[in-house]
Amino acid sequence: MAGVALCFPRHLYNIINQCRRFPRLSEPNYLCLLDARTEREFGDSHIITARRIEQSPTGEYLVPNPEELGYVRYCVVYDSKTSSLDSCDCDEEEKETDTEPALANSFLVSLATEEGTSVLHGRNFEQFTRHPVLVLKGGYRRFSAYYPFLGTQKILWMPRELENYQPYPVEILPAKLYMGNFKQACDQKIQKDLRIKALVNVSEQPATLFAEDGESLHISVPDKLETDLFSSFPTITHFIDAQLGRGAVLVFSSLGISRSSTATMAYLMHSCRFSLKGAWAYLLKCKETMRPHRGFVEQLSAWETQIYGSTITDISEPNY
């Protein structure tokens, strides 16, 4: 079995906001987000693209098609407030019936809509998934408190709507540090929703900060192998440190892939005491398409040596 694991709200936020050519939410086998709350709670508000685990006429829950779960990259289940995988000790009960055509090929569980429901569902789903089933820590209450702008009453999403979804910048440090692209940085709604108070712009284009008392740092550099970002690392890290006490900071470049990830890793290495290898792995979990070019990797290696007095990460490995 694939297993069951807790998913922190920040992790789900970043899963929702991954983007390649199009938002990954538009990929059919990317995310299966399941709401285990009551019909009334689901109707009031739920996380975008979530589907409610519906009840059969006999009061049992009808789980999504096992074949669907077998192909999805992320299966995330949430209820109202479950915060631990040990929050419920009830036993799952599996039933099959050949007498009701609509339920003949479905997996049924009998559960109450209370704390721990998502854990029970997760334990039932894990036999069908290739990856661990994720249970949202704190449930909808905590997620909606952190990200109210990702709540909706919309139930059906057309493929074109998902292709046109505007992802938010990924969250690096909870409610403090974000990383994105130029389009996101210029979006007034995104700045307001994330409470952005400072911008670190490592693109060649100027951007507008809408917060009245905000601050901006513009390091105008091209995304080329010979570009020097190393000399700006101290300025970037000190600026971010100074601004985090006042509000959230957004680091961005044109596409949010190379220059912004380089600047963000430089900060993580300096202020969060990551090695280059550690910062790389951490940032990759936040944004799967992040990729500094080779020149920036060498500059980050030099930055690591300057911080720690010796080289820790072997950048000759193919991962870099």
Q: What average pLDDT values come out for the chain (320 residues) when binned by 10 residues?
A: 91 97 95 94 97 76 74 96 71 34 35 69 90 96 98 94 96 97 95 96 91 90 94 98 95 97 98 96 97 96 97 89
Residue 287 to residue 265: CA distance in whole angstroms: 12
Give the residue range(s) of CATH 3.90.190.10 domains in the chain. 170-308
Q: Which H or E run includes 178?
A: strand 177-181
Residue 273 to residue 158: CA distance in whole angstroms: 44
Q: Return the pLDDT at 100.
A: 32
Residue 279 to residue 89: CA distance in whole angstroms: 38
Contact 18, 288 (CB under 8 A): yes
Q: Return the pLDDT at 103.
A: 29
Give the residue range(s) of CATH 3.40.250.10 domains in the chain. 4-163
What is the longest distance spanned by two Cα atoms in the chain? 72
Residue listed under structure tokens 């009245």: 212
CA-based nearest residue to 266, from 227, 225, 294, 307: 307
Residue listed under structure tokens 């911080």: 307
Residue listed under structure tokens 């909606």: 144
| Helix 259-271 / helix 233-244 crossing angle, nearest 10 deg | 70
Q: Residue 310 has what DSSP assignment?
A: S
Q: Name the CA radius of gyration of the chain, rounded.
A: 22
Q: Which H or E run includes 33?
A: strand 31-35
Q: What is the CATH number of domain 170-308?
A: 3.90.190.10
Q: What is the CATH number of domain 4-163?
A: 3.40.250.10
Q: Residue 63 has what DSSP assignment?
A: P
Quote the pTM value: 0.88
Is beta strand 215-218 parallel, antiparallel or unpaired with respect to 196-201? parallel
